[in-house]
Structure formats: structure tokens, C-alpha cells
Amino acid sequence: MSSTRHRPPRRLLGVLAASAVAFTLFSSATTAAGAADSAATASQSITGTATRSAAAQSLSTSTPVVFVHGYTGSASNWVAAMSVFRANGWSSSNLFAYEYNSYGNNITNAQGLAAYVDSVKARTGAAKVAIVNHSMGGLVSQYYLKVLGGNASVSHLASIAGANHGTTAAGACLVYTTCQQMYPGSSFISQISSGDETPGSTKYATWYSACDGVIIPYTSTRLDGATNNNVACQTHIGYLTDTVVLGQIARFVAS
């Protein structure tokens, strides 16, 4: 009260003091209740966020992954990769390896990949798959996604040391159609690299290294429009057991 007012009777002061104490206690109780409610709300929010994150992770790791080997490769090339993917949440039932004829024709191999992806989608009930390729598998994958319209069925494409723009190393095996197609400047390379190299809504990423030794030039792997990852030093075959790079790829596919 203002100091200019007359002092109230003691009885009135007692009433006011009692009222003030009551008001303070009520305010404290209300604040405590509000804090409890806020804590509960925060807890529910955190739980809800964690549940949504777990659901998103479960959804992403339920995407089937199709691995596509390179020249003279096979499904056995992907033992380490599949182990890394399982460690990152994938079930073995969602991991597949496509095999093709390394000495035939990559157009036929891409058509085979299209049929294989369709069979995986039918088997798993998934609308899309992710593709992880290595070396010449990059050519097979790119032809499927770009020329055959496979990008509509592929959520992610990860190219590991892919021969996406060819390699001069293919000069050592030009007796085979696949190697002719893999040589820089071939009509096959021109077909998959002209215009948009990363069509559709598919997420694209590549991993390449100056230490590759087989993809020459090593920058051949890069794709315009992709997330291109320059690995400090890794050999062409070394990628297949490089758990660090394979872990990055698993996380990319889960993104």
C-alpha cells in the first residue's frame, strides 16, 4: 500500500496476511500442477517422437535392397555388404543379389534386372526397391533406371566404383560385348549419360576413389545430380569389404 495512506487496523492486516499466504500457497500448487502437466506433455512428446523415429527407421529398413555385381562378379561379392545392412536394421528377407552374364550384353542384363526387381516387389509387397551396384553393375543399373524407366521402382541408387562413364581398362576385354559397352565413348555409354543422368525421384549417390585402379579415369563413377562421395583411398575390389563405406551406403539407403 502507498505510504501516504492511513495504517489499517491490526485485524485487517491479519486478514490480508492470511489471504496473501493462501494466495501464495494456491499459486505454488497451481505452478506445481502446471509443471507436472508440462513434464507429462514433454514426456508424451518425446515418447511420440521416439515412436515416430522408430517407425520411420523400421519403414526405411523394410525397403528391399537389390545388389548388382560387377564384371565377372557374383552374388558372393555381397556377403560383407549384406552383413552391414543387417547390422543397420535390415532383415535377410529384404536383401537380394541379382546375377547376370558378364560376357553377354548389358542391355539384356538390364532387362533381366527389370524382371528381377519386379519379382522382388511381388515377393515383398514393396512399391520400390533400393539398388546398390559395383563396377559394371553401374551400367546395368543406369540403363534400367534411365532407358527402361526403372527409376519409378527405385527409391535409392548407390553406385560403388561404378563404370558409369566407362573405363579404359575395358580395353583388355573388348572381345566381349559388355566390355565394348563399358569402354568410354561407346554408344551404350552415350545413351545412359546423355541428358539427365539421375532421372525421376530416385535418390542417387556414388562412391569413388583415386586409388581405384580399375575405373580409369576414377571420376567416371560420378553422376550429375547425385551425391558424389570421394573416398580418400580405396581399391576397386576393396570396397566390397570396406565396412565404413558400406555403412555409409546403408545409412544413405535408410535416409
97 beta partners: 67
Residue with cell 545430380: 225
Q: Where are the beta strands (DSSP E) in 99-213?
A: 129-134, 154-160, 203-209
- Which residues have a catalytic role annotated? 135, 212, 236
Q: Find where cell 515412436 sits.
A: 51
Rounded CA-CA distance 134/73 in Å is 9
Query: Which residues sit opposite 154 in a β-bridge?
Result: 129
Helices (H), 150-221: 177-182, 187-193
Residue whose grid cell is 585402379: 213
| 143-147-151-156 Cα dihedral, nearest 10 degrees | 20
Closest to 131 measured CA to CA, from 107, 161, 151: 151
